Amino acid sequence: MNRLPTVDPATATGPAAALFPAVKAVFGAIPNFAKSMANSPALLKGYLDLFGALSAGVLPYVLREKIALAIAEANACTYCLSAHSYLAHNVANLPGREIEAARRATSGDQRTAAALRFAVLVNSTRGNVADAEVAVVRRAGFSDEEIAEIAAHVALNTLTNSFNSLAGVEVDFPVVTPGSFDE
């Protein structure tokens, strides 16, 4: 149930209307989260700017999607978990077992597992991680630039998790419920 209305791109005016073409260019459609974020054009623009900047960063797309899955699961955001499960399967071409592993912040690849554990730790501690935890992710082969981007992806995903949960955005992807795993 939407707590905030969606802004209809066909009838939008002003700054919100001006942002919808950028949303469509990035996502190929205008998802419900963007229609809800458009209640505040500043929020939607800020999201698009940060998303665009991080998309041009050093972390590969697959790792970014895995971080999004881990954070959506940790923050119990049905909208984001559904959206990123869809993207992980249909865009990143990840098999179901890798999607589920990312939701659990694990991976068969030790480097990826270290990044996911670190991302969830940054999320749960709100960035107040111990020096030893930063050392662990460095030993896994992550540079300072990559560590900074992991933290930034946690922030980006926490923004969307918090907003979508608060707004009650209607899920427009196949629904994946936090805590539901194939076992």
109-130 average pLDDT score: 97
pLDDT of residue 154: 98
Residue-wise pLDDT for 40-49, tens only, equals 999 999 999 9
Token pair for 117? 């554990």
100-109 average pLDDT score: 97
Average pLDDT over all residues of the chain: 95
Of 179 and 68, the one with more pLDDT: 68
Q: What is the dihedral of CA 182, 31, 49, 148, to 10 degrees?
A: 0
2-30 average pLDDT score: 94
155 class by beta-carbon count within 10 Å (0-12 exposed, 13-18 middle, 19+ buried): middle
Under the banding of pLDDT at 50, 70 and 90, the label for residue 2 is confident
Question: Residue 75 above 80 pLDDT?
Answer: yes
- Pair 140, 112: CB distance under 8 Å: no
Q: Is the pTM of this model over 0.75?
A: yes
Question: Residue 54 above 80 pLDDT?
Answer: yes
The domain limits of the chain are: 14-55, 61-167
Q: Which CATH superfamily is domain 61-167 in?
A: AhpD-like (1.20.1290.10)
